[in-house]
Amino acid sequence: MFTDVSVDTSVKVIEEWISFSDDVKIYTRTWKAVSDKPTATVLFIHGFGEYVKRYNHVFDKFGKKNIEVFAYDQRGFGRTAKQYNNHGDSGGWEIIKADITHALTSQRRNGIPQFLMGHSMGGGLTLRYACEIDEKHNNVAGFICASPWLQLSPQSDPISRKIGLFFLPTLSKFLPNNKTDASVDAKYISRDPVQIKKYQDDQMIIDSKYATYKTHPVTSPEASKQFVQKTKASNVMFREWKDRLHEMHNDYDNTEVIQSYIQWILEQVNSATEE
């Protein structure tokens, strides 16, 4: 078994500090498509406590398939947090939602399908955004939610397990300045000891603020399955990867997972073209 974290340096990467809707400058990273006219574009929302540069070995593959990816270190995370010394302070759901909307609209290109994708916490935020956005203003061609944080896994304690990402922004209104030990047990990230060690040694991965419960926020696949079963959307796919752990893109045979994201995007684009 093998985890491929190699990066194709032929894919152009652009790093920028961009002013968002309230003029706060946020660190962004764009993996360019191989042509001037991408087949599709993606806005990616990263996970709990991490940052977008961890995805270099993921989105170079998108670029090679002519899919452009734009991502940013959310408020309270990565280089954005380091710039403002506000580690773990996301600003709450309304600010998060405004940032997603700003990124979508600023990166949108006429005639090119745009997708919203998130991992872990970012997957939960993606789903919430999809549920709340006014359909009249929703120009997103599709949503990809990888290991979305809808509910915590059985490894967490009984109280925190019931606290889904949809509820946390409400809880933060009552506990706006409390920080919790939200560290993730690295053994649940990947089966690959090299990736586990890399995660443990990464000083950019930080704890985050939402509540006063101690949790190990590795997400529940069962909660995702139940969400899909209850959704009224017609074009929905749920895929559970056997034996893979939370960061499937950093686990053994990760190339298969990454290619599945790319394939799904291209299938949606081709299907829309044929209609």
Read off the CATH number of the domain in which 270 is found. 3.40.50.1820
Mean pLDDT of 107-129: 92
- Answer yes or no: is 5 within a domain: no
Q: Give the integer Cα–Cα distance in Å for 60 and 66.
A: 10
**Per-residue confidence at 83, pLDDT binned at 50, 70, 90?**
very high
How far is it, in rounded angstroms, from Cα 175 to Cα 210?
Answer: 8
Residue 2 resides in a domain: no
Q: How far, in Å, CA of 255 to CA of 51, rounded?
A: 20
pTM: 0.84
Tell me how far apart the alpha carbons of residues 16 and 36 are, in angstroms, rounded to a whole number. Answer: 19
Whose tokens are 């309304």? That residue is 94
Average pLDDT (155-169) is: 46
- What phi and psi values does residue 93 have, to the nearest 5 degrees? -60, -40
Question: What pLDDT is stored for residue 153 in this prediction?
Answer: 55
Q: Are 70 and 103 in contact (CB under 8 A)?
A: yes
| Residue 8 counted as domain residue | no
DSSP H/E element including 16: strand 13-19
| C-alpha–C-alpha distance, residues 243 and 238, integer Å | 16
Which among 97, 103, 99 has a CA at the least distance from the CA of 130? Answer: 97
pLDDT of residue 204: 87
Strand partners, 69: 31, 42
Strands of 40-166, DSSP E: 40-45, 67-72, 114-119, 142-146
Residues of the domain holding 236: 13-274
pLDDT value at residue 21? 79
What's the pLDDT score for residue 157?
Answer: 45
In 136-185, beta strands by DSSP E: 142-146
Measured over the CA atoms of residue 138, residue 71, residue 244 and residue 121, the dihedral's sign is negative
Bridge partners of 115, per DSSP, are 42, 142
Flag whether 103 is in a domain. yes
When pLDDT is cut at 50, 70 and 90, the band that residue 240 belongs to is confident
**Phi and psi torsions of 213, nearest 5°:** -95, 140
Nearest to 228 by CA among 217, 243, 241, 239: 239
In this structure, what are the phi and psi dihedrals at residue 16, rounded to the nearest 5 degrees?
A: -145, 150
| Phi, psi angle pair for 41, to nearest 5° | -125, 155
Rg of the chain (C-alpha set): 18
Amino acid at 243: D
**69 assigned to some structural domain:** yes
The rounded mean pLDDT for the chain is: 81
Q: What confidence tier does 152 reach under pLDDT thresholds 50, 70, 90?
A: low
3 in any annotated domain:
no
The mean pLDDT of 122-134, rounded to a whole number, is 87
Does the structure show a pLDDT above 90 at 109?
yes
- 5 compared with 167, residue with greater pLDDT: 5
123: in domain: yes
| Structural domains of the chain, count | 1
pLDDT at 154: 57
